[in-house]
């Protein structure tokens, strides 16, 4: 039976990063506090025309494709701007955001990530009980402005334009910048790869009624899984009118210990693949990394190509997401239970459980991942010492209509749960997600010929900040958040 198409979306009303992703080679994350409420709400009227909508992003992507087709030199100069607000930001503005907190006083949007990091996410904490974060993220943040573009010059120019709108560096500013973080797509052949070297962003959800290219892979999601006020939004009927066509943005400031990760792989190579073939140390280390992540560095899924990388598979959109861990409810031969890709999108582990157990749909758990890398490439000195000396990592961002069902659930109930996926009956526990799991990291299944063997490992990704924001529609910005012009 064909899934009926939902009502058409107003692509001129939805901020562009949510469904399309702002095109970027570089990006600013500008976290700010509101210092003059009345002036800010007036200034916001001048800012709104700078916002790039989904319709604007689609036009940009058409222009980029045309530029490439004509084989024109360089990159098209372009920028994209979006804005979002925290619960504390709405309090400062005097705006009733109660329809955003569908779970009441304990809703993650309402309590904020600083508390949620300790209560539910499992972040390391300091002796005073606060998360072990960068000081900027331990204070209240009212909002976030994203500025994306093709060059540092373009986004710096746009940032200055935005500062002028809000009176920054004048006697009468309406906002104060708390911290601005710049991210950059990695250079050359590493473009699209995160700092550990793995191709990222392959398996974002396909949205029914929006996406026109539908490749084999996980089921389509309704727009309301990502957008408030649409079918699939668990709080659709209780959203305030101004809160429709928005999305919750979960931000995480994640530092990656790349030299240590590479050293761990070097020191723990897998001796033989699942067919009993002896591997060289380099091959064994590559296989270990692939089994921790669930994909080879090329992006090829190990569930399809379990013991050897397949770059052609990785580049084929009709095959690189077409797997389901089928028939593997009790097997780690092809892919470990705790591999990052399996932990965060378990497919048949929940959707096709053993006889007698009802399938558990996971479409409502999907998140739209964005973000960008930050920090320099690993230096020769760091590589030699196997020790991080320069901060680098991921400015992680994801969108969803429910933080409880989306980011918070994936982190707390899947990544941090040593017994997830739940229906396997092997004597060994799966372990934590080896990348983002918080706690004592150890996982089974890394050696395909000794699935019960458990390998302990240090933390390779360290959270140093974060917050939950709401990215409103343009109508919501104009009708409720900005003052009448």
**What amino acid positions are annotated as catalytic residues?**
200
Collapse the DSSP code of 378 into the 3-class scheme (helix H, G, I; strand E, B; otherwise coil) and give the result. coil
Backbone angles phi, psi at 179, to 5 degrees: -160, 140
Cβ distance 420 to 284 under 8 Å? no
Q: Which of 156, 117, 194, 211 is nearest to 396 (CA)?
A: 194
Give the DSSP H/E element, type plus range, for residue 55.
Answer: helix 54-69
Give the DSSP H/E element, type plus range, for residue 341.
Answer: helix 340-344
CA distance linking residue 101 with residue 87, whole number of Å: 9
Residue 485 CB neighbours (<10 A): 9
CA distance linking residue 98 with residue 226, whole number of Å: 19
Collapse the DSSP code of 247 into the 3-class scheme (helix H, G, I; strand E, B; otherwise coil) and give the result. strand
Greatest Cα pair distance, the chain, in angstroms, is 71
Structure tokens at 58: 């689609």
What are the residue ranges of helices labelled H in 95-231? 108-111, 113-116, 152-165
Give the DSSP H/E element, type plus range, for residue 37.
Answer: helix 37-47
CA distance linking residue 220 with residue 230, whole number of Å: 15
CA 110 to chain centre: 20
CA 35 to chain centre: 30
CA distance linking residue 337 with residue 430, whole number of Å: 5
Compute CA distances 151 → 28, 79, 275, 281, whole Å: 11, 9, 47, 40
Give the DSSP H/E element, type plus range, for residue 259.
Answer: helix 258-267
CA distance linking residue 442 with residue 213, whole number of Å: 38
CA distance linking residue 469 with residue 277, whole number of Å: 49
Taking the CA atoms of the chain, what radius of gyration do you get in angstroms?
Answer: 22
Collapse the DSSP code of 315 into the 3-class scheme (helix H, G, I; strand E, B; otherwise coil) and give the result. helix
Token look-up 């701007």 returns: 81
């Amino acid at each position: 039976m064909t899934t009926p198409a939902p009502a058409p979306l107003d692509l001129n009303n939805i901020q562009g990063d949510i469904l399309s992703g702002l095109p970027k080679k570089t990006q600013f994350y500008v976290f700010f506090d509101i210092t003059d409420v009345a002036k800010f709400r007036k200034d916001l009227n001048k800012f709104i025309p700078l916002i790039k909508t989904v319709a604007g992003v689609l036009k940009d992507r058409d222009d980029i494709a045309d530029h490439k087709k004509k084989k024109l030199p360089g990159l098209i100069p372009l920028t994209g701007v979006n804005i979002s607000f925290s619960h504390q930001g709405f309090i400062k503005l005097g705006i009733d955001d109660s329809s955003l907190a569908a779970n009441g006083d304990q809703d993650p949007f309402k309590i904020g990530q600083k508390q949620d990091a300790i209560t539910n996410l499992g972040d390391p904490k300091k002796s005073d009980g606060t998360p072990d974060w960068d000081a900027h993220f331990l204070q209240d943040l009212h909002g976030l402005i994203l500025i994306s573009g093709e060059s540092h010059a373009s986004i710096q120019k746009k940032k200055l334009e935005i500062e002028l709108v809000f009176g920054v560096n004048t006697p009468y500013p309406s906002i104060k910048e708390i911290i601005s973080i710049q991210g950059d797509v990695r250079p050359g052949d590493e473009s699209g790869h995160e700092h550990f070297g793995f191709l990222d962003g392959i398996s974002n959800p396909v949205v029914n009624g929006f996406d026109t290219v539908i490749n084999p892979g996980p089921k389509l999601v309704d727009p309301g899984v990502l957008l408030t006020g649409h079918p699939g939004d668990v709080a659709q009927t209780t959203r305030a009118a101004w809160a429709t066509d928005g999305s919750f943005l979960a931000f995480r400031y994640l530092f990656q210990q790349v030299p240590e990760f590479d050293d761990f792989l070097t020191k723990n190579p897998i001796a033989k693949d699942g067919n009993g073939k002896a591997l060289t140390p380099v091959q064994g280390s590559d296989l270990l990394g692939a089994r921790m992540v669930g994909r080879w560095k090329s992006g090829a899924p190990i569930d399809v190509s379990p013991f050897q990388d397949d770059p052609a598979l990785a580049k084929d959109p009709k095959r690189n997401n077409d797997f389901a861990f089928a028939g593997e409810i009790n097997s780690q031969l092809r892919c470990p239970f705790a591999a990052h890709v399996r932990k965060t999108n378990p497919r048949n582990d929940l959707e096709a459980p053993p006889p007698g157990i009802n399938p558990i749909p996971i479409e409502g758990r999907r998140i739209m991942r964005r973000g960008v890398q930050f920090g320099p490439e690993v230096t020769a000195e760091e590589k030699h010492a196997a020790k991080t000396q320069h901060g680098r990592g991921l400015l992680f961002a994801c969108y969803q209509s429910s933080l409880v069902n989306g980011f918070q659930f994936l982190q707390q109930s899947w990544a941090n749960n040593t017994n997830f996926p739940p229906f396997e009956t092997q004597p060994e526990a799966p372990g934590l997600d080896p990348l983002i799991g918080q706690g004592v990291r150890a996982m089974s299944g890394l050696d395909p010929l000794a699935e019960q063997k458990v390998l302990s490992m240090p933390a390779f990704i360290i959270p140093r900040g974060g917050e939950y924001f709401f990215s409103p529609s343009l109508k919501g910005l104009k009708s409720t958040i900005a003052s009448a012009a």
